Every structure is written in structure tokens, then in C-alpha cells.
Amino acid sequence: MNLEVGDCEIHSVIGPNGAGKSTLAYLLMGIGGYDPEEGSVRFNEEDITKFTITQRAKRGITLAWQEPARFEGLTVHDYLSIGAGGAGNVSESTLHHALEMVDLSPDNYLSREVSEALSGGERKRIEMASIFTMKTKLVILDEPDSGIDVVSLKEVIALIQDLKKNGSSVLVITHREEIAAASDRASLMCDGMIVKTGSPAGISDFFKNKCKPCDVETYGLKEE
């Protein structure tokens, strides 16, 4: 496959279940067990294929999981502080601002545990808040809309655009047409390959109306 995400670009990856979209996200983040068999991952001209997750994070790459992890005993304050570089390096106002960005009240959430006590939707918002405390250059979002209601979908799209405004590129793995439509570019992934890259509308239309399993071979890696 060949996938390029531009500077301050929102780039969606869509495709059927099992296409390998989440695997792509893990591979880009350097998650163990998802190492590329061949090829390379490059970030700002630097080959980061062998880099650890931490090394990538320190270069400004981060990932928000489809189903965020739960942390018994770790408060929202602790969690956001980690993203911001440690408890000693972050101001309270930064943490407050990050929570307000995801529409959560700091007074109600900072002391709560990032555990089962929070709903999946709340944990997703807190994960997004932790990203807002970081100095990111590339944010990989794996299905940021899953477990989110329709009303909140608009907020998710707004948050993705906020990341861009803050100077990040955003790679979004999604099934939602609305999110893809809010992107600058989109790619269709199928069977572990990027089939086509182009305008969100064109890629969505192609996926819905023209794509068949055999199209991977037919269309190859064409730019629209």
C-alpha cells in the first residue's frame, strides 16, 4: 500500500469490515504485533519504521483507540497530565481547557477514575482531551464515532477540525460518511490495500456504488 497524509490534512480511510483499517492505524503507531512485513513508515522524511511507540509519540504522533483503555485508580487529572508531559509540566488551566474542548466539566471529571465508572462515550471524550494536551503533529483516530450518538457526531467532526486548526494532521479510520465528508481527502482500503485516494465525495461514491471485491486488482493504487 501507499498512503500519504499531508501537513495539516484531515485524511479519512474508509472501507469494509476486515479491510485492515485498524491494523493500518496500529502499524503507523508502532503497536507491537503490527510490524510491517516490508516497506517503510516515514514521518517528515524520517524513516520511523523501527521506532517504538514512545519514540513516535515524542515526534508528535499519537493514536486514539476505537475502544479506549480503562485505568483503575488513574484519575482523569493523572491521565491528562501524562499526555501533557507529566504532572510537573502541566498547568491546571491546560487540563481544564482540554476537558472543555470535549464538552466535559473539569469540576465533575478531573477527580474521577478513567475506569468502568465512566461510559465508553465519556472515555472517548477524555481520550480526545488527552490528545489536546499534547503537542501533536499527526493524530490517528480509530473510529472516533463508535459508541457516540448522532448528536455527538457533529462534536466529533468539530473536534477533528479543531485538531487541524491546532496544527495537526489527522488520519481518521471511519465508517461514517459524515466524517469522511468533512475530510480534505479520503482513501478506500480493501483487503489490506489502499485501492483509491481522492476527494471524500468521489471515494464514498466509488465505495458505495462501484467497488467490488475484485476491484483491488482492477484499480490498483490510483490517485483520482
Partner 1 sequence: MDIIQLDTAKEFAAMEDAYECSGGDSSVLKMADVSNLVISGNKILSANQTEGVVLKKKSTESGVDIVLTIKKGHTIPNPVHLCFGVLPKEGLQQINVTMIAEEDASVELIAHCTFPNAEHVVHKMDGRIFIHRNASLRYNETHFHGDKGGVEVIPKAKVKIEEGGRYHTGFTLITGKVGLLDLDYEVDAGKDAICELNAKVYGKGNDKILIKEKVLLNGENARSVIKSRVAISDNAFAEFTGVTEGHAPYARGHVDCVEVVQGNAVAKAVPIVMVDNPLAKVTHEAAIGSVDKKQVDTLMARGLDESEAIDAIVKGMLK
Within a 10 A sphere around the Cβ of 174, how many other Cβ atoms?
24
Residue 72 CB, shortest distance to partner 1, in Å, is: 5
Q: Does 50 bind partner 1 (CB under 8 A)?
A: no
Distance between CA atoms of residues 128 and 122, nearest Å: 10
Among 1, 8, 57, 181, binds partner 1 (CB under 8 A): 57
Residue 36 CB, shortest distance to partner 1, in Å, is: 17
Q: Does 207 bind partner 1 (CB under 8 A)?
A: no
Contacts of 177 (CB under 8 A, 6+ apart): 204
Q: Does 116 bind partner 1 (CB under 8 A)?
A: no
Give the chain's end-to-end CA distance (angstroms, integer). 16
Residue 130 CB, shortest distance to partner 1, in Å, is: 6
Closer residue to partner 1 (CB): 12 or 62: 62
Q: Return the C-alpha torsion angle 30, 153, 213, 196, nearest 10.
A: -70
Among 50, 58, 210, 222, binds partner 1 (CB under 8 A): 58
Give, as ranges, the residues between 79 and 98 that touch partner 1 (CB under 8 A): 82-83, 85
Residue 61 CB, shortest distance to partner 1, in Å, is: 8
Contacts of 172 (CB under 8 A, 6+ apart): 10, 11, 12, 13, 141, 144, 160, 179, 180, 183
Contacts of 86 (CB under 8 A, 6+ apart): none
Q: Return the C-alpha torsion angle 175, 15, 28, 68, nearest 10.
A: 30
Among 1, 8, 48, 74, binds partner 1 (CB under 8 A): 74
If we measure between CA atoms, which residue out of 14, 47, 5, 18 comes closest to residue 171?
5
What binding mask, one character per residue, do residues 146-185 give for partner 1 by CB under 8 A, x or -?
A: ----------------------------------------
Mark the segment that binds partner 1 (CB under 8 A) among 47-55, 102-110, 161-169, 171-179: 47-55
Q: Output phi, psi for 73, to 5 deg.
A: 90, -20
Mark the segment that binds partner 1 (CB under 8 A) among 61-69, 103-111, 146-154, 207-215: 61-69
**Footprint on this chain of partner 1 (rule: CB under 8 A):** 29, 31-32, 52-54, 56-58, 62-63, 65, 68-74, 78, 82-83, 85, 130, 134
